[in-house]
Structure 1
Amino acid sequence: MDLKDIQNLIKFVAKSGASEVKLETDDVKITIKTGGEERSETTTYVQQIPVNAPMGQMPMQQQAPTAAAPAAEAASEDSKYITIKSPIIGTLYRKPSPDKPVFVEVGQNIKEGDVLCIIEAMKLFNEIESEVSGKVVKVLVDDSSPVEFDQPLFLVDPS
């Protein structure tokens, strides 16, 4: 069983909603647990304290900020890019070792199969390879930071 098979199994278990899956073959034993039933619900109560305004003043109406328009603009700009997402949970490293340069920089052209980063999961270092060719537009994760499954890592312009 290779890394791709394990990653596909993890994706399947995450989508299925199962809380635990065990798989044993002759040479591999895998247990995948999700946090499905172990999550505890937390209820937060917010108490608002009334504030008495002086009678002579009328409360000013607040206008909603128009940040939605730039956010929608940015989303439409990003839609032409391909998002490379994390296939596993772990710690992302942009360099093969601390004294080496990063695998890819913004503006660098990459091709299919190029190593973009390494994700350490359970003391195993997994090279994350590009599945597309193009130009790296944005790096979305800092070096040595934890990443979640399906978290966006890089934006690539395929043109």
Structure 2
Amino acid sequence: MLKIQEIREIIKLIDQSNIDEFLYEQEGTKIKLKKQGAQTVVSTPVIAAPPVAAQAVAAQATQVPVTEAKVEASAAPKETAKVEDENLHKITSPMVGTFYSSPSPDTAAYVQAGDKVGENSVVCIVEAMKLFNEIEAEVKGEIVEVLADNGQLVEYGQPLFLVKTV
């Protein structure tokens, strides 16, 4: 059975390559990755996998439009140029998933523009395969801008926050 990190790496490699379709089978589990035009689709039908692993893989058996986030992120090229000029640190998404700015819908966001953060400060959650992954700032500084909207699909490596380091 593939580990989640291995699946993420495969998705990243397929996304960056010219391969349009990839199929992997091991011990009754199938993973099929297929690019359709400007969209990458992840599909994982489960066949006779162990019960716990089957639940984790079945949770991922949905189509994930990766390039939707690319289109939304590229809508602000001026901001990206500003970031490079000022040498701000970008906090990026470590995986494909859904961005959440707060731990639950009825609570305040972890951080907003102007908030101070430390290296271990949680700045958001990225949900992938029904797992909620807390994303830490990794640097000490001040949040300059939040680049993703709550509930937005984000891709691997997509900038989520700009931080002016101290």
What TM-score do you get using the length of structure 2 for normalisation? 0.58
| Aligned residues of 1:110 and 1:135 also touching (Cα < 8 A) | yes
Amino acid at match of 1:22: Y
C-alpha distance in 1 between matches for 2:101 and 2:26: 33
Per-residue displacement from partner, 1:50-77 (whole Å, max 9, x unpaired)?
xxxxxxxxxxxxxxxxxxxxx76x6553
Q: Does 1:33 align with 2:33?
A: yes
**Distance (Å, rounded) in 2 between the aligned partners of 1:90 and 1:134:** 25
Amino acid at match of 1:139: V
Residues 1:86 and 1:75: Cα distance change in structure 2 (over 3 Å): closer
Q: Which residue of 1 aligns with 2:15?
A: 14
Q: 1:151 to 1:75 in 2, by over 3 A?
A: closer
Rounded to whole Å, the distance in 2 between the matches of 1:104 and 1:83 is 14
| RMSD after superposition | 3.1
Extract structure 1 runs of 4+ deviating beyond 6 A.
none
Match for residue 86 of structure 1? 93
Residues 118-150 of structure 1: CA deviation (Å, up to 9, x unaligned): 112232212222232221100011112222333
Q: Distance between the aligned counterparts of 2:141 and 2:4, measured in 1?
A: 24
User: May I ask how many residue pairs the two structures share in their alignment?
Assistant: 124
TM-score, normalisation: structure 1? 0.60
Letter aligned with residue 122 of structure 2: V
Alpha-carbon distance in structure 2 between the residues aligned to 1:131 and 1:24: 36
Q: Give the deviation of 1:9 after TM superposition.
A: 4.6
The structure richer in strand per residue is 2
10-19 or 75-84: which moved more?
Answer: 10-19
Looking at structure 2, the residues matched to 156 and 32 of structure 1 have their Cα atoms a distance apart, in angstroms, of 37
Aligned to 2:119: 112
Unaligned runs of 5+ in 2: 39-76
CA contact (8 A) 2:11 2:33 kept: no
Rounded Cα–Cα distance in structure 2 between residues aligned with 1:4 and 1:129 = 18
Mapping of 1:1-150 within 5 angstroms?
Answer: 7-18=8-19, 19-20=21-22, 22=24, 31=31, 33-35=33-35, 38-39=36-37, 75-79=80-84, 80-150=87-157
Q: Secondary structure at the match of 2:107?
A: coil
Question: Percent identity over the alignment?
Answer: 37
